[in-house]
Amino acid sequence: MQLLDGKHVSQKIKEGLKKQVEKLVHQGQRPPHLAAVLVGNNGASETYVANKVKSCKEAGFQSTFIRLGENTTEPELIAVVEKLNADENIDGILVQLPLPASIDEYKIIDAISPNKDVDGFHPVNTGKMLLCDDDAFLPATPFGILLLLEHYNITTTGKRVVVLGRSNIVGRPISILMGQQRPYGNATVTLCHSQTPNIEEITLQADILISAIGKPASITASMVKEGAVVIDVGIIRVKDETSATGYKIKGDVDFETVAPKCSFITPVPGGVGPMTIAALMTNTIKAYSLSVQKP
């Protein structure tokens, strides 16, 4: 069994991005600029945004962090997004999800310029992804998974991939990407969800199992065949009074029992999470490149 060390791989990617930024600055150009918007006081969201801002600094990116109150209205948030859209010095925009219940996430995603949508959620980028358009900004977590597979040179062509979870953020896009004619695609993909019967029979056929359901330790050894590659997207805060923070981070996979059966497996934390940030930053420098190429 080998760990798919997302922390290590993301650091390598950030080092490569830093060299690109240093070259740009040496040539007299400004560095890429990412703007992150956080609405409310969700503890997990605050941690995610802080990690993104920190990673930007490490790679030499500029970053702007905009914090808005819990009572921010939908029109107020859209006004902030439109201001960022119009700012030529901002290359990438992310609005951290989830948003307060009073705000329609889809309206906010739709308000972000597709050319600055480095999270890869805008309908335009979704359409481009479906068409295998190279200009598409791929959703950050699925893109991070592809980068992880690439780094470890894991063969996907002709493999049976089973994806658990059908969210627009992870499950559906990774199922599409893995089935496309692309590097680290060309797989036969089965997408399972809460209404899929006999899931264990399906997961036992998986050469590559990708779980994004958000239920701690729900993937057990009996669901995984020998030699499978297991990618755990779940990041769940579980109460733990023995921890200084009051919680521990768990994944979907019961790591201790599943890991011995695997050829490769991601840890939680330290697997897919850091790769999401690396993919977000890769999208940001791509957005920067596309913007400076405009006539």
Q: What are the residue numbers of the active site?
A: 52, 96, 119
Closest alpha carbon to 146 in 186, 184, 190: 184
How would DSSP label each residue in 174-239? HHHHHHSSSTT---EEEEE-TT-SSHHHHHTT-SEEEE-S--TT-B-GGGS-TTEEEEE---EEEE
Q: DSSP state, 109?
A: H
Q: What is the Cα–Cα distance from 32 to 240, expressed in whole angstroms?
A: 39
Of 180, 179, 196, 201, the residue nearest 188 (C-alpha)? 179
Distance CA 181, CA 175 (A): 12
Which tokens belong to 61? 């990116």
Kindly compute the dihedral angle of the four CA atoms of residues 165, 170, 171, 175, in this order, to the nearest 10 degrees.
Answer: -160
d(CA 189, CA 49): 32
